[in-house]
């Protein structure tokens, strides 16, 4: 016996037509009126018989979990949970985020870190202990490092020293990334990036010169825009062959400027491995920053849609949901740790410098001290163990959201934290926007006499995550 999947969603749009979306398979189907009526009938039925459904269409409905057997969905979710846990507890890779210092030369008003006044720089003893600590992971074959801070370039010698020592360890050092404000990333440092195995740089520009310099200043208020741009210019013209991700922290103050900045930077770095993207400024309770300027989820959703509409080519990303999203990060991955300059350990980037969130120290024989905190992050934020999430239509395309926000909401009882997927309240808008572009592309193809799928047979799959032939039973 077959059943109408609870992950189905029928959309009737007066301008664009009839559609069916399933969040479990992440398939999006366009229907003609006849097939739409059939689908509507199926949705009303408590159980479905195959009679009266043409074989090819039936095959599509089965393959994409539109029609399912009893328990199919729960088994799929269980399998996904298993895969998620496999990834979370994989011990073949070690992912370390290392803060050689928590000191920062900037004074960004919205910063969520609490220890920028700290002057500690990782010392020789801690560096040596860090190497011993890495050696303890004897089952681990691969190592990846993110250099973070504070501002890691303030302790560049530490980065060089640690890298040199790691190269002498019997471990495959896959790659490193560097999260920097870019101000001190000068020629001398850039020329060393290759030898440091740094393949990805993340830096931040918050707007054109005036806007950026009103937000991201040096301590003392000095401007930083031109120097950062000069450094990126040199970086992308150097022998560095990695990628550079320019984050733009967007809030209500600079949102209008972002599309033009994006276009400007894209043109400036066209053909090179530079990716520009908008990230939202999170309300942190920092007294230097008025939280009225931050976006709430629905405002960000609108911003994302407008951004997508406005840019014919965008490196910000697409808006069609990512299917089977696991959404794991350092916080819920066992072999991912954040290491502070004194060797203290954290589970989340946002916790750096917060003594209450320290989970252990590399100097301890058993490095984990606060196992409860680790368990709360690893297991307590698992959406598959949350009855509300497990019941949620959006779980397959949400993956549970930010572990830190879930943790703070669930275990620290912080109010007003929004960690659900933006798709939750806006899925129809996103799907219709996506379809509108597919339609535009179709018209281009029609104009150029290029064949494309049509709705001639009554329906067409616009987007699918599944190789159909593999799952038809």
Asked if residue 159 binds other proteins (CB under 8 A), the reply is no
Binding mask of the shown chain, residues 171 to 200, with x at each position contacting other proteins by CB under 8 A: ------x-x--------------------x
Residue 34 φ then ψ, to 5°: -60, -50
- Strand ordering across the sheet containing 27-31: 8-13, 17-22, 27-31, 459-463
- For residue 99, the minimal CB distance to other proteins (Å) is 13
Q: Which of residues 412-431 bind other proteins (CB under 8 A)?
A: 419, 421-423, 426, 430
Is 79 one of the binding residues for other proteins (CB under 8 A)?
A: yes
Binding positions for other proteins, 37-76, rule CB under 8 A: 76
Task: Name which of 165 and 424 has its Cβ closer to other proteins.
Answer: 424
Phi-psi group of 8: left, alpha or beta (phi > 0 → left; psi -120 to 50 → alpha; rest → beta): beta
The single residue among 68, 99, 328, 359 that binds other proteins, judged by CB under 8 A, is 328
Q: Identify whether the C-beta of residue 115 lies closer than 8 Å to the C-beta of residue 168.
A: no
CB of 135 to other proteins, least distance (A): 26
Please give the sequence-ordered ranges of beta strands (E in DSSP) within 73-197, or none if there are none. 93-98, 142-147, 172-179
Structure tokens at 9: 């969603």
Q: How, if at all, do strands 336-339 and 93-98 pair?
A: parallel
Q: Which is nearer to other proteins, 77 or 369 (CB)?
A: 77
CB 442 within 8 A of CB 452: yes
Subset of 95-154 contacting other proteins (CB under 8 A): 97, 146
**Any contact of residue 318 with other proteins (CB under 8 A)?**
yes
Q: Closest separation between CB of residue 45 and other proteins, Å? A: 26
Residues in 240-279 at the binding interface with other proteins, rule: CB under 8 A: 245, 275, 277-279
Cα gap 295→297, rounded to integer Å: 6
As a whole number of angstroms, the distance between CA 473 and CA 470 comes to 8
Which positions from 195 through 234 interact with other proteins, judged by CB under 8 A?
A: 200, 202
What is the secondary structure of 187-218 as a DSSP string?
Answer: HHHHTTTTTTTEEEEEEE--SSHHHHHHHS-B
Query: Between 103 and 245, whose beta carbon lies closer to other proteins?
Result: 245
Question: Judged by CB under 8 A, does residue 466 bind other proteins?
Answer: yes
Which residues ranging from 17 to 36 are in contact with other proteins (CB under 8 A)? 25
CB of 124 to other proteins, least distance (A): 28
Q: Do 190 and 232 touch, CB atoms closer than 8 A? A: no
> Which residue of 59, 214, 315, 354 would you call a contact of other proteins, by CB under 8 A?
315
How many residues touch other proteins under the rule CB under 8 A: the total is 71
**Segment (H or E) for 12:** strand 8-13
Q: Using CB under 8 A, which of the segments 6-14, 266-274, 301-309, 365-373 binds other proteins?
A: 301-309
Helix H or strand E encompassing 226: helix 225-236
Position 307 contacts other proteins (CB under 8 A): yes
Among positions 359-418, residues that touch other proteins (CB under 8 A) are: 401-402, 405
Output the six-digit token pair for 208.
Answer: 């054109």
């Amino acid at each position: 016996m077959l059943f109408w999947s609870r992950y189905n969603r029928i959309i009737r749009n007066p301008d664009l037509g009839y559609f069916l979306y399933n969040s479990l398979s992440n398939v999006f189907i366009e229907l003609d009126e006849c097939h739409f009526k059939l689908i509507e009938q199926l949705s009303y039925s408590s159980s479905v018989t195959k009679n009266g459904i043409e074989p090819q269409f039936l095959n599509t409905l089965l393959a994409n979990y539109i029609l399912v057997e009893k328990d199919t969905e729960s088994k799929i979710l269980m399998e996904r949970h298993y895969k998620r846990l496999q990834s979370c507890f994989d011990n073949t890779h070690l992912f370390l985020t290392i803060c050689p210092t928590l000191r920062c030369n900037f004074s960004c008003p919205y910063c969520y870190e609490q220890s920028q006044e700290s002057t500690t720089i990782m010392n020789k003893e801690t560096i040596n202990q860090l190497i011993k600590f890495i050696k303890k992971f004897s089952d681990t074959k691969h190592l990846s490092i993110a250099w973070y801070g504070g501002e890691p370039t303030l302790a560049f010698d530490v980065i060089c020293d640690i890298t040199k020592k790691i190269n002498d360890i019997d471990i495959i050092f896959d790659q490193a990334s560097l999260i920097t404000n870019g101000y001190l990333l000068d020629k001398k440092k850039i020329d060393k990036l290759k030898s440091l195995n740094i393949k990805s740089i993340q830096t931040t520009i918050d707007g054109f010169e005036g806007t950026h310099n009103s937000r991201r200043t040096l301590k003392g208020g000095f401007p930083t825009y031109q120097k950062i741009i000069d450094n990126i210019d040199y970086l992308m013209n150097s022998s560095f062959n990695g990628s550079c991700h320019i984050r733009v922290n967007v809030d209500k103050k600079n949102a209008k400027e972002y599309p033009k900045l994006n276009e400007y930077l894209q043109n400036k770095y066209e053909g090179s491995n530079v990716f520009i993207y908008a990230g939202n400024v999170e309300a942190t309770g920092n007294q230097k920053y008025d939280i009225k300027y931050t976006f709430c989820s629905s405002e960000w959703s609108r911003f994302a849609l407008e951004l997508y509409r406005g840019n014919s080519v965008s490196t910000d990303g697409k808006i069609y949901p990512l299917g089977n999203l696991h959404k794991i990060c350092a916080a819920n991955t066992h072999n991912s740790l954040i290491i502070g300059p004194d060797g203290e350990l954290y589970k989340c980037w946002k916790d750096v410098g917060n003594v209450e969130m320290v989970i252990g120290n590399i100097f301890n024989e058993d490095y984990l001290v606060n196992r409860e905190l680790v368990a709360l992050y690893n297991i307590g934020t698992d959406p598959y163990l949350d009855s509300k999430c497990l019941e949620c239509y959006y779980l397959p395309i949400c993956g549970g959201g930010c572990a830190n926000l879930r943790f703070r909401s669930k275990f620290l009882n912080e109010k007003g934290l929004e960690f659900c997927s933006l798709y939750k309240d806006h899925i129809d808008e996103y799907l219709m926007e996506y379809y509108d572009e597919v339609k535009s592309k179709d018209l281009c193809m029609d104009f150029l006499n290029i064949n494309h799928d049509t709705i001639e047979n009554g329906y067409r799959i616009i987007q699918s995550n599944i190789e159909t032939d593999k799952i038809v039973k």
